[in-house]
Chain A
Amino acid sequence: MSKRSHRFDIVVGLAAFAAMAVAPAVTSNQALFDLVIRGSALALFATSLNLLIGYAGMVSFGHGMFFGLGAYGFGLIMQRTSMPIPLALLASLALAAAVAIVVGAICVRLKDIYFAFVTLAFQMLLYSLITSWVSFTGGDQGLRGGIPRPVFFGIDLAKYTHLYLFSSALLIIGLLAMRHIAESPFGYSLRVIRDNAVRASFLGINVWRMKLAVFVIAGTFAALGGAVMSLFVSGAYPEFANWPMSGEAVFMIMLGGLGVFLGPLVGTVLLLLLNDVITRFTEYYGLALGLVILLFTLGLRKGLLDFAVDLVRRRATAHGALPTEVAHE
């Protein structure tokens, strides 16, 4: 990608952060801040999954494993050692990356539905480890007793505003980093692999190594999301590593749009709002969510941002203008 558009991304990121930073001065709506913190955790998770699905064409159905790993890893490190938060964060990411290397080495050779289900099986293995190793993880009850938050660099995450700003900052940094990766030559190699793996390998791309690399990167960022979530709920629960977590992430991507970088972010916000509305009106959450998923998959047939981008493109061509580069796909 050109230096200019990279700089543009950073400016957008800084502007977004500035907007989020002034929000507490304007409003004191607790629900909004909750949404931003939860949203940060889940958006990091969903966007990282889209690196796999949208860019590399690897439909993982076990990505929740890394979200859970981040949450438990971070929580356990904070509870059992006296590491400062930034170091614990890095350590939990390193743990997730190490696991991703092992799991990825086994999985990335597999294709399509095999890949989806074997990643799911690994996730369920982690899930059964978490629920059965009661003395270490707290089993079904989850990691309780709160996560200590020692002050670092003057940041006190026990204060709600600090936590809010910290999550927002991690979200922006994470998104910028993933954007940079997606637009790098590496990111474009992934697109080639997605579209035609045979051609990619004839072009001299080491497909296996590339896929493993993106699997590890995606797992690491998912763990970052998990760590943010564990800070938010001050604990970790087996549900973080259970299969519906992966299902929801896949749906968040689909909801927002696969073909646009910010699609998963939009999808995350939509799903969180949707959750709010659904739970207010009915106790049958699954039924309502299932119907919404059907509406998108069989009705609209693409995510909202994909839909919008297509619409803009079609307009542009209809007016005789050359289709400009709206999205990068």
Chain B
Amino acid sequence: MDIDPLIGCLLSTACIVTHATSGLIIGLLLFLVAVGLTLIFGVLKIVNFAHGAFYMLGAYFALTIVQFTDSYLLAILGAAAGTAAVGLVFERLFISQVYGRNVLMQLLVCYAFVLIFDDLVRIIWGSEFRSMGMPELFQGPPFFVAGGVVPQFYLFLIVVTLAIAAALGLALARSWLGKTVRAAAINPGMVSALGINTELLYGLVFALGGLLAGLAGALAAPVRSLTPGMGFSVLIESFIVTVIGGMGSILGALVGAILIGLIRSFGSLGFPLFTDGLMYLFMIVILVVKPTGLFGKPVT
């Protein structure tokens, strides 16, 4: 472990810009996964341990669609729709059976699906690393900001993910569905008594979570290599994000995700092999200092 490259980088604006951008990318993609996790937990009171699988499926769906249609835009939309459908079916058929049962059963059912999805991907797409390649649209020269390199695709990612985050926040705060979802998170019995089909609502929330994670996978596909099992590390990271930001808080997920992204990006300079470890350490520190997370409300 050598701290010099990190210090060297912090002394140059160009390097700071480059790494801050890549940290932001990691963080914003992570946010899309984590926000689904946090929404599902908030409403269904279940931690979807198989959430990383949606991210993985999104990436592979996008890969296949690009191969057939050559259109990255179609790939993003198709992957999001596909994972939303998988999420809906998964919730209706399996997760709905473990509501209210103990954590152990919920964990095990999800664990089973982590194993199953990983192997299904292995069967369909093979176990070797796959890569999608940069879509033609974004192959132009990168931008330079204060001497730092910002690829076009990164800018696209930042704009898209921030737009999604804003739309999501607005929809939850203002729209009828958003209000219903928030109400169901607080008192599902009352929501149901008011004549709202909560089962359908649960399915929708799960589908939305799947959609967001699949979107993240599709957006990450051009800059990551695809491999069965790629979902697990993302799952762990998004869980760390939700713990840091506070379970159930969307703003918390955003802040937590960006913090983790920056830690990963800058940490890889000073501690290339221990970047994961830095993340866990950061989470542990937060937990000790503020157990409910940065934006979490105290658990009663």
Q: From B73-81, B117-125, B201-209, give the one contacting chain A.
A: B117-125
Beta-carbon nearest neighbor of A129 in chain B: B277
The 5 closest A-B pairs by CB, nearest first: A132-B273, A286-B115, A287-B119, A290-B116, A293-B112
A45-87 contact mask (Cβ, 8 Å, vs B): 1 or 0: 0000000010000010100000000000000000000000000
Shortest beta-carbon distance from B71 to chain A in Å: 32
- Do residues B115 and A121 form an inter-chain contact, with CB atoms below 8 A? no
B89-116 contact mask (Cβ, 8 Å, vs A): 1 or 0: 0000010011000111101110111111
CA distance A128 to B267 in the complex (A): 14
Is residue A17 contacting chain B, with contact meaning CB distance below 8 A?
Answer: no
| Partner of B119 from A116, A121, A125, A290 at Cβ < 8 Å | A290
Residues of B within 8 A of A124 (CB): 236, 276, 280
CA distance A244 to B115 in the complex (A): 10
Majority secondary structure of chain B interface residues (helix, strand, loop or mixed): helix
Beta-carbon nearest neighbor of A105 in chain B: B288
- Do residues B111 and A293 form an inter-chain contact, with CB atoms below 8 A? yes
Beta-carbon nearest neighbor of A103 in chain B: B284
CA distance A122 to B285 in the complex (A): 12
Interface size class of A (residues with CB under 8 A): 35 or more
Known: A289-B112, A297-B98; 17 extra A-B contacts, CB below 8 A, are A59-B103, A117-B239, A117-B243, A121-B239, A121-B240, A121-B280, A124-B280, A128-B280, A131-B273, A132-B273, A285-B119, A286-B115, A290-B116, A291-B112, A293-B112, A294-B109, A297-B108
Q: Which B residues fall within an 8 A CB radius of A?
A: 41, 47, 94, 97-98, 102-105, 107-109, 111-116, 118-120, 122-123, 232, 236, 239-240, 243, 247, 273-274, 276-277, 280-281, 283-284, 287-288, 291, 299
Most buried by B among A128, A134, A296: A128
Residues of B within 8 A of A290 (CB): 111-116, 119
A207-245 contact mask (Cβ, 8 Å, vs B): 1 or 0: 000000000000000000000000000000000000100
Beta-carbon nearest neighbor of B108 in chain A: A297
Residues of B within 8 A of A243 (CB): 232, 236
Can you name 24 A-B residue pairings with CB atoms under 8 Å? A59-B102, A106-B287, A111-B299, A113-B103, A114-B247, A120-B239, A121-B236, A121-B280, A122-B280, A122-B284, A124-B280, A125-B281, A132-B277, A250-B104, A250-B107, A250-B108, A250-B111, A254-B108, A286-B119, A287-B115, A290-B111, A293-B115, A297-B108, A298-B94
Residues of A within 8 A of B232 (CB): 243
Shortest beta-carbon distance from B292 to chain A in Å: 10
Is residue A205 contacting chain B, with contact meaning CB distance below 8 A?
Answer: no
Residues of A within 8 A of B240 (CB): 121
Residues of B within 8 A of A250 (CB): 104, 107-108, 111
Residues of B within 8 A of A286 (CB): 115-116, 118-119
Majority secondary structure of chain A interface residues (helix, strand, loop or mixed): helix
Shortest beta-carbon distance from B240 to chain A in Å: 6
Residues of A within 8 A of B119 (CB): 284-287, 290
Is residue A112 contacting chain B, with contact meaning CB distance below 8 A?
Answer: yes
- Do residues A113 and B111 form an inter-chain contact, with CB atoms below 8 A? no
- Do residues A114 and B243 form an inter-chain contact, with CB atoms below 8 A? yes
- Do residues A59 and B273 form an inter-chain contact, with CB atoms below 8 A? no
Beta-carbon nearest neighbor of A302 in chain B: B105
Residues of B within 8 A of A110 (CB): 287, 291
Is residue A247 contacting chain B, with contact meaning CB distance below 8 A?
Answer: yes
Residues of A within 8 A of B105 (CB): 297
A264-297 contact mask (Cβ, 8 Å, vs B): 1 or 0: 0000000000000000000011110111011011
- Do residues B280 and A254 form an inter-chain contact, with CB atoms below 8 A? no
